[in-house]
Structure 1
Amino acid sequence: MLPWASLLVLALISGKFATTPKPVISLNPPWIPAIEGETVLLTCNGFDLHSPRRITWYHGNTNWTTTENTLKVHTAGEYRCQIQDSASSYPVHLQFSSAPLTLQAPVSVFQDDSVVLKCRAKENVVLNSLKIYKNTKILTVLNNSPEFHIHQASLKDNGEYFCKGDKESNKFVSSNSVKIEVEELFPLPVLTARPSQPTEGTLVTLTCEVQLPPQRLDIQLQFRFFRGRQALGSGWSHSPEFRIFNMRQTGSYSCNAKAVTLNRWKQSHEVQIRVQSEC
């Protein structure tokens, strides 16, 4: 799947950017491939767009500069954008289909996403029925709608999808194939301690860092910290940091990160913190 969507940059939940901020291009409508003759709206989402910024758009070997962060397109090719003083965005490879039957899919799919696949016939193509397939096996007949819904995406939904329409006289037309790869919502959190070898009685700050994909920076996370199996503090918190003001205990520390709305959580590896004596 292409690494781009509706938000701005790959970031750490600790509030520090992991890399130089990159803008991210989103599409409306958000399915690929697009249909020939239709217009796709590209939006260059970036850091601090509230202040006036020059935005440079790139299409193949052509580029132009504007103050608009949206672009209407109906031509295939690679698109990129660059906001003033930022790195260039990830590329968008846009295709327009003129086939009799086209299967459209979201740009990317993550765990627990609600996914819609659209099987679209050209206006002059009349089909008696539509069927959607996964890895050459029929999934269902699309009787009343050209859409197939995956309500809560998981790894079992990975595969090659295509649709097929029946015409008169035992003829049929097949669409393009779309590969679905369900991506991890977020990786294991990483616990860091500052300082990593504290002196007894000093302040130690634990940070639970989670690197979200640029498509899902809208996810709200909560955090919890542990020494061994003992929870520290009063429970889940929106802060990725936990402060121990009077560090006394050597031990194994870890943290949990949880996606609030999806109630999906992951635990970091344990970090051994050795407290040094004041003597």
Structure 2
Amino acid sequence: MLQTSDYRYTVNRDTLTIRGATESDQGQYWCRGQRDGRPNSSTSSSAVSLSVKDLNPKPELTSDPAGAALTGNTVTLTCRMDPSTGNWDFYWYKHTLNPETEKKKTNYSLKIDSVSDGGQYWCRAGRGKPVYYTQYSDALWVNVTVSPKAVLTVRPDERVFRGETVTLRCDIKWGGDTEWTYRWEIEGTNNQYKNTVSRTSTQELNISSVDLSHRGKYSCTGQIHTQSSQRSDAVTLTVSAEAQASVRVSPQPWLTEGESVTLTCEVSGSSKGWTFSWFRDHDHLSDSSRGAGGSYTLSPAALQHTGVYTCRAERGRPAYYTHNSSSQTLWITGVSASVSLVINPSRSQHFSSDSLSLSCEDQSNSAGWTVRRYTDKDTQTCAKQTGSGCVMDSLSTSDTGVYWCESESGERRRPRNITVHDGEMILESSVDPVIEGETLTLHCLHRSTNSPILSADFYKDPESDDRRDEHHYCLKVT
């Protein structure tokens, strides 16, 4: 029989309380009831085995992920007890031993909002009423570092053209040899994430032939295990149908030999990563050093530099090419230029099916000069030569181009623009360049009469007015 005289044992009718249980209290326990009447005792109960473990067990505290925690992420703390010891409640402590106000389960999710969320954490287990507490776990340091921000770059440019190859790269400035994985997000034009690329071990997202469906806002994040970097700023990828090169000239396209002139090649709406090729009269110019940076400079300009210039831009690997630019004619004359290109009728615009004659006239000797021309198709000698002249009996729009006089040695003189139209009206203007300060007279000619129209409206910069004839610059008033 149990010696209840021990102060640690208290019997209250049907309840035995053992205070401060020790290993010596281990063993088999059973009970039976007693009363004054007969029979005065019951049969014995079944035995219960009491096992007393070590005094004050200590839980184990771990974190996932282990190591440094990044702001903006969540760290899971786990307090473990030997499962053979039964069921426990867990109490959590941060920095000091002041407990959290509520009991929690074995896992504690710690949201890392700032560096101040780092520090020492403990846990202990408890159960029963009054509560029996285990020892505190060993302290666990949660080291918090500000999460790095991903940086997204695009090659060759944020504005690209259909068919180009585009590379987006996600960089994260972070010390050490940490291997990041990457997540890409694409926000479409409907302001919803239309496509999310799953994690990939590569830093780069390559689009081999971009099209209009690739337009949108791109961003990326880096991940280490369950933690993420800050998301990069979004980069808007703009995709246009095609790239168009254009040429501008400074200070003017007509000059005297010995002066300087610069041609500049530009791609509308895009300036990054382009290299440029230059052509004169459809022939590729090999002196590419003059075209560095999109500028082609002639200094000093010589007579042989006269001609029609175009440019083309390219970038990327594989190379993407723009269309050739519209043409720009350079008119370079000698200090004492004696040769003139005479055009009859003497105007820059002509009706189709009309006739036109051109001739090279030299004050000293016209022999050895021929009429040459540049069109969208090629550069050639005028088809119907008559000595130093050229006759075209029935013009067509394909005869539009630049015409000049060329000597047997290749010297070029007096280039002039001639355009041929199928419409009912043309603008009669001087075939020669207009010098600043001179008086300029313009007429509207009608095909049926080939004479000036008495009443007409004139327009400057016709592309700004929908009512204009884009070729003729004038409108008949009825």
Task: Identify whether the pair has TM-score above 0.5, normalized to the shorter chain.
Answer: no
More relative contact order in 1 or in 2 (CA 8 Å, sep 6+)?
A: 1
Which TM-score applies when normalising by structure 1? 0.38
Q: Which is strand-richer, 1 or 2?
A: 1
Larger Rg: 1 or 2? Answer: 2
